[in-house]
């Protein structure tokens, strides 16, 4: 175990589990270097099904260089439809080639098939009785190429560490001889918080505290040296206006047009001549509803990462439970090519059940969990529960704080602390192929191999 990069520690990822030096290099030199294909778990009816009973058109889009939210906006423009009629199963990164599912409410399948949206290949699959929701997938398959690695021979030592971390479900075979089972802590990756400017968890923590003004200023202000100079200057202007009680129009005038969400918030502050908490809450609510939810999710993710880092520091296992843990079981409805934790099926582990549940974990039937804290969160017992409570105390929140208005409310859930995968490595060029269950981050595995600044991971 070794210390992580400073920017990773700022979002709760304190450690690498591999002690070996990284291979170096960079990801996403071009979109085709990072390929993501959803492992689908959503079956449509035929195209000619009754549109009254099945009003949503399901499509599969292969995108190159598209942010998911931006593609949804472009698709709505191309169809002349409200953006709120478009939904998707998972948010993907812009600098990649991605294949993913979308649904469009009350649409003509022929019009969907004919729409032209930049560099996008659209295939209409059928009709559904409801919109596709975030999370309506089993997982993602990745094929990732690392360019210009400094130490490609380090792959073997890193893999050995990750095989050991996988526990008894690991594999002693050497990389390059076929798939090898490895595991990493199921951290939320840097992109959950912002790769260049990791602040979404700070915004979310302010929301959870119902400090709406601080939440807006954390999102719109607070320049980062990792951003372009024009962006830094605009955020500095926001901070100046906020400090001296100036006119929000001054900040809006300087905000670049490519920062659309920031400009929308500032427009709202100008229109309201903002001074009251509700004015700042209204500014946050100019964001799409899914992004409002992501702000709170980022706060939950930060706390989760902190819990995992503390578990690592204390030397508690990830592949098996200790007394006081809460485990979940495998989703029996998942496609056979992926193992997915079902966090609706939870069980507390007391001292008498540790040995039995350990056997389930060894066979890939159960997973140790930690909380994504919300109003209905029940914390663990024993040392795991002590870790959870200590982290919440340090952050200054408690489950009841998530009883929030509108899209900001969250009941919480739990999440597996470990993610395993069968990894295949090719050497020329250095390419990693693996699959992860939904919600797990490819960069959390890849960071162990590269051990570079997260900006190089994208």
CA distance 328 to 344: 7
The token pair that represents 53 in the structure block: 């009973």
> Within 10 Å of residue 449's Cβ, how many Cβ atoms?
28
Residue with tokens 């002690």: 19
How many Å apart are CA 349 and CA 204, to the nearest integer? 31
Whether 273 is catalytic: no
- Beta-ladder partners of 144: 34, 432
Q: How far is CA 129 from CA 41, 44, 284, 427, in A?
A: 15, 9, 31, 46
Q: In Å, how far are 166, 243, 381, 405, 428 from 387, measured between CA atoms?
A: 22, 37, 9, 29, 43
Q: Which long-range contacts (CB under 8 A, 24 or more apart) does 287-290 make?
A: 287/261, 288/69, 288/83, 289/407, 290/69, 290/91, 290/134
Say how far apart CA 71 and CA 60 lie, in whole Å: 13
Kindly report the number of other CB atoms within 10 A of residue 118's CB atom: 13
Half-sphere exposure of 84 (CA within 13 A, CB side): 3
- DSSP state letters, 327-365: EEEE-TTS-TT---EEEEEEEE--GGGHHHHHHHHHTTS
CA atoms within 13 A on the CB side of 113: 9
Both tokens of 270, joined, read: 């100008």
Q: Using DSSP, how many helices (H) and how many strands (E) does the chain show? A: 14, 15
DSSP code for 311 = H
Query: If we measure between CA atoms, which residue out of 147, 249, 149, 262 comes closest to residue 203?
Result: 262
- Could you give the dihedral angle defined by the CA atoms of residues 385, 389, 394 and 397, in that order, rounded to the nearest 10 degrees? 140
DSSP code of residue 45: B
Strands (E), 129-179: 137-145
Which residues, in sequence order, are bridge partners of residue 328? 346, 367
Catalytic, out of 14, 33, 93, 136 = 93
Compute the distance between CA of residue 24 and CA of residue 21 in angstroms, rounded to an integer: 9
Phi-psi region of 382 (alpha: psi -120 to 50; beta: other; left: phi over 0): left
Question: Cis bond leading into 192, ω under 30°?
Answer: no
Catalytic residues: 93
């Amino acid at each position: 175990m070794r210390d992580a990069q400073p920017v990773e520690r700022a979002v709760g990822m304190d450690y690498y589990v591999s002690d070996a030096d990284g291979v170096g290099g960079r990801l996403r030199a071009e979109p085709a270097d990072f390929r993501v294909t959803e492992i689908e778990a959503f079956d449509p009816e035929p195209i000619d099904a009754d549109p009254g009973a099945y009003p949503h058109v399901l499509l599969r889009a292969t995108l190159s260089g598209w942010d998911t939210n931006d593609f949804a906006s472009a698709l709505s423009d191309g169809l002349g439809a409200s953006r709120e009629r478009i939904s998707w199963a998972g948010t993907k990164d812009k600098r990649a080639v991605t294949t993913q599912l979308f649904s469009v409410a009350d649409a003509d399948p022929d019009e969907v098939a004919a729409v032209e949206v930049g560099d996008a290949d659209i295939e209409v699959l059928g009709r559904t009785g409801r919109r596709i929701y975030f999370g309506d997938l089993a997982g993602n398959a990745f094929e990732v190429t690392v360019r210009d690695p400094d130490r490609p021979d380090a792959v073997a030592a890193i893999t050995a560490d990750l095989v050991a971390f996988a526990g008894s479900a690991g594999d002693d075979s050497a990389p390059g001889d076929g798939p090898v089972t490895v595991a990493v802590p199921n951290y939320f990756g840097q992109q959950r918080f912002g790769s260049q400017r990791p602040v979404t968890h700070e915004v979310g923590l302010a929301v959870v505290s119902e400090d709406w003004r601080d939440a807006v200023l954390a999102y719109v202000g607070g320049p980062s040296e990792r951003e372009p100079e024009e962006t830094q200057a605009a955020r500095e202007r926001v901070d100046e206006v906020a400090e001296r009680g100036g006119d929000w129009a001054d900040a809006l005038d300087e905000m670049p047009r490519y920062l659309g969400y920031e400009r929308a918030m500032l427009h709202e502050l100008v229109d309201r001549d903002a001074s009251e908490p509700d004015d700042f809450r209204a500014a946050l609510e100019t964001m799409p509803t899914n992004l409002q939810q992501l702000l709170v999710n980022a706060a939950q993710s930060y706390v989760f990462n902190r819990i995992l880092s503390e578990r690592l520091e204390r030397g508690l296992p990830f592949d098996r439970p200790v007394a006081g843990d809460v485990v979940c079981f495998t989703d029996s409805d998942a496609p056979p090519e992926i193992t997915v934790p079902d966090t609706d099926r939870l069980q507390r582990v007391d001292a008498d059940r540790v040995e039995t549940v350990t056997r389930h974990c060894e066979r890939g039937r159960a997973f140790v969990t930690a909380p994504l804290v919300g109003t209905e969160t029940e914390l663990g017992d024993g040392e795991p529960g002590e870790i959870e409570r200590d982290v919440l105390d340090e952050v200054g929140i408690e489950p009841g704080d998530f009883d929030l208005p509108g899209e900001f409310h969250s009941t919480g859930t739990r999440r597996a602390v470990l993610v395993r995968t069968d990894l295949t490595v090719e050497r020329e060029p250095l390419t990693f192929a693996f699959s992860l269950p939904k919600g797990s981050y490819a960069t959390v595995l890849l960071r162990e191999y590269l051990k570079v600044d997260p900006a190089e991971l994208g």
